């Protein structure tokens, strides 16, 4: 074998070169497969010879160990915010103030990235720390997460004694959509916009999660530098590019504020064609000596200002209202419009949010309306021009059946959302299958979202039941599979057929029925067929089954496509019978509610919960007056404090074991 140290150095240099070509120069020279193969080889070598691992190794990009909190960082150079302008007059007034202090200023104009501002520091050309802006004076050390951003160099071109740069961490629109698609499919809260998603990703305590989010960065300012003399902003950006940073370099300085404002307007026209979000444009004095003369206020530099683009509104007509089905089954009404140009793009559809919104604003088919598109938010109907009504407008009524699959549409009391109840609804397939195979449901190892997506794209499956009819050779050639992985997946599917009934009930995705309720229903009815025959009145007689859940269960089993889905599972040999022993109630646990808090040394939370439920008790995630006991491990926090305030009995693990025995 060749010298491992030399091999590690060569692979590190090659991978860092190709990382720059892909993420910074946008000119890849090798395929993703070749890159991944080299990276895997480097990871293998580093695991065998950790003493030769380089500080700038690309394997650092995948994230290190999770942290419990972020240390505070005091910024030597304050990370100030910018004063804002909303009109040309305010920009001209800014120019007047500048010229009162300096002569013949030249301005640079940049896109204002809608992300999260960070500081990145280097010593002798090597990355040493990355931190958030925080309040501008004190931020948080997020170095491990910053290192996962592939457009951040871990080693500069030159051995600069010290360099601190400021940049904006952001998510591309495509990555933002992928993240929200996954969150929606797995029933997690969605990010409101790319900026929130970037901020949430950068502050993940586990850097491996941050690594998967696909964060990016544009560096736009030199905060501090030693060993290099730079006199203006444009030269500074060129220097940063040479060192390996990704910048937005608009290589022009404007002597006239009117020319600078024209560029601001041009950026506004371009923003819809960008792959990232901007929330304005920034105009800055180019010369650093002039910046020092102008100085700063407590909050803002006097040499820069941000122009914020106004939300654009246009008038158009609603030709129809269609229904869009989300991946969680929610029906969203969508206005079909006469095409109108807003914020640089043609708009022919606009969200109407929900049926209550339509009723509140009295929106009708045929109405003339005002449509708004603020930045890159989905266009929305914000106003009806009632004076333009002719009397021929039609009121919109929500459908009783899903337009995608024909299943019954339901709306629960107190909710704005209407939902499709079909388990095979095309719009919900990905989300339903991801839930079906998840750890608390059928627990099918090796069947992640990317594999499911490939199966759906290839039309190998149309529902979770189809999983039990695929063969290893059909999936062996998919990305991230291979013959061994394909066989392992088939074995995992076979194993899942023998799961206890409660897992299948949970996997069906019946609204309001989670793992605990599934266990209760399986224990009570013993077969899926018995549960299908139960009525709402009967179900509500069971402890922990309320009226809303009961109606949801009954409604689910009335839907023909859901029955067909279950029959296909039964035909595949999936267990539909509960063979567990009846619960042997223990007087210490029967009909009592336990809350677990802190770190337990002898059991996992799941193990302790199972022991409680086996003896007739139940667990809850929150402390209330109905709580019987709080089982407190080490570092118990607010739940323990609340229990003490309410006078609820707190037990240790030793006391818990005594109760068990």
Between the alpha carbon of residue 630 and those of residues 224, 255, 544, the distances in Å are 53, 70, 20
Cα atoms found within 13 Å of the Cα of residue 166, Cβ hemisphere only:
21
The CA distance from 161 to 226, in Å, is 6
The CA distance from 399 to 120, in Å, is 53
Specify burial of residue 165 (Cβ count, 10 A radius: 0-12, 13-18, 19+).
buried
Q: Per the structure block, which two tokens stand in for 216?
A: 């990016």
Show which residues are catalytic: 112
Element (H, E) at 373: strand 368-373
Neighbour count for residue 340 (Cβ, 10 Å) = 17
The CA distance from 284 to 282, in Å, is 6
The CA distance from 105 to 41, in Å, is 53
User: Looking at beta carbons, which pairs linking 266-273 to residues 24 or more positions away fall under 8 Å?
Assistant: 267/109, 267/111, 268/309, 268/344, 269/344, 270/344, 271/111, 271/309, 271/343, 271/344, 271/375, 271/376, 272/343, 272/344, 272/345, 272/376, 273/344
First to last CA, the chain: 60
């Amino acid at each position: 074998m060749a010298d491992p140290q030399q091999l590690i150095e060569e692979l590190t240099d090659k991978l860092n070169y190709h990382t720059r070509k892909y993420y910074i120069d946008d000119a890849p020279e090798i395929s993703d497969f070749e890159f991944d193969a080299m990276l895997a080889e480097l990871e293998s070598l580093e695991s065998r010879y950790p003493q030769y691992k380089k500080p700038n190794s690309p394997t650092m990009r995948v994230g290190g160990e999770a942290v419990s909190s972020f240390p505070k960082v005091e910024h030597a150079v304050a990370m100030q915010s910018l004063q804002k302008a909303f009109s040309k007059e305010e920009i001209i007034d800014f120019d007047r103030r500048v010229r009162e202090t300096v002569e013949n200023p030249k301005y640079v104009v940049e896109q204002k990235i809608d992300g999260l501002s960070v500081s990145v520091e280097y010593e002798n050309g090597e990355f040493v720390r990355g931190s958030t802006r925080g309040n501008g004076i004190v931020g948080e050390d997020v170095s491990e997460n910053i290192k996962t951003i592939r457009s951040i160099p871990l080693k500069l071109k030159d051995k600069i004694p010290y360099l601190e740069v400021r940049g904006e961490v952001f998510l591309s629109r495509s990555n933002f959509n992928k993240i929200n698609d996954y969150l929606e499919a797995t029933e997690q809260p969605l990010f409101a916009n790319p900026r929130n998603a970037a901020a949430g990703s950068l502050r993940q305590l586990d850097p491996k999660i941050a690594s998967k989010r696909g964060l990016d960065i544009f560096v736009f300012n030199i905060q501090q530098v030693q060993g290099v003399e730079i006199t203006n902003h444009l030269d500074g950006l060129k220097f940063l590019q040479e060192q390996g940073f990704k910048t937005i370099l608009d290589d022009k300085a404007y002597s006239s504020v009117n020319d600078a404002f024209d560029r601001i307007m041009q950026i506004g026209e371009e923003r819809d064609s960008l792959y990232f979000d901007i929330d304005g444009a920034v105009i800055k004095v180019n010369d650093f000596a002039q910046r020092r003369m102008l100085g700063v206020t407590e909050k803002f530099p006097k040499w820069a200002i941000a122009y914020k683009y106004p939300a654009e509104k246009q008038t158009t007509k609603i030709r129809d209202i269609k229904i869009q089905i989300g991946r969680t089954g929610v029906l969203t009404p969508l206005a079909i419009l006469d095409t109108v140009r807003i914020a640089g793009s043609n708009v022919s559809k606009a969200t109407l949010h929900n049926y209550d919104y339509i009723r509140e604003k009295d929106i009708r088919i045929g109405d003339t309306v005002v449509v708004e598109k603020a930045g890159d938010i989905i266009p929305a109907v914000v106003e009806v021009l009632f004076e333009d009504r002719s009397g021929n407008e039609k009121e919109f009524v929500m459908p009783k059946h899903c337009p995608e699959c024909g299943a019954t549409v339901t709306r629960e009391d107190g909710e704005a959302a209407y939902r499709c109840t079909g388990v095979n609804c095309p719009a919900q397939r990905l989300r339903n299958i991801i839930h079906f195979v998840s750890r608390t449901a059928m627990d099918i190892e090796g069947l992640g979202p990317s594999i499911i997506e490939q199966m759906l794209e290839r039309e190998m499956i149309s529902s979770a039941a189809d999983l039990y009819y695929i063969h290893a050779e059909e999936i062996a050639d998919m990305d991230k599979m291979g013959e061994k992985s394909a066989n392992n997946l088939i074995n995992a599917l076979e194993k899942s057929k023998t799961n206890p009934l409660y897992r299948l009930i949970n996997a069906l995705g019946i609204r309001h029925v989670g793992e605990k309720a599934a266990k209760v229903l399986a224990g009570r009815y013993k077969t899926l067929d018995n549960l299908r025959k139960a009525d709402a009145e009967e179900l509500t007689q069971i402890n922990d089954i309320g009226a809303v859940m009961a109606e949801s269960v009954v409604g689910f089993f009335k839907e023909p496509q859901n029955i067909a889905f279950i029959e296909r599972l039964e035909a595949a040999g999936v267990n539909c019978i509960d063979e567990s022993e009846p619960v042997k109630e223990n007087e210490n646990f029967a009909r009592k509610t336990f809350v677990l808090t802190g770190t337990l040394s002898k059991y996992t939370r799941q193990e302790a919960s199972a022991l409680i439920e086996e003896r007739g008790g139940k667990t809850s995630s929150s402390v209330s007056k109905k709580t019987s006991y709080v089982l407190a491990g080490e570092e118990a926090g607010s739940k323990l404090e609340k229990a003490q305030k309410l006078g609820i009995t707190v037990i240790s693990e030793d006391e818990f074991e005594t109760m068990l025995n």
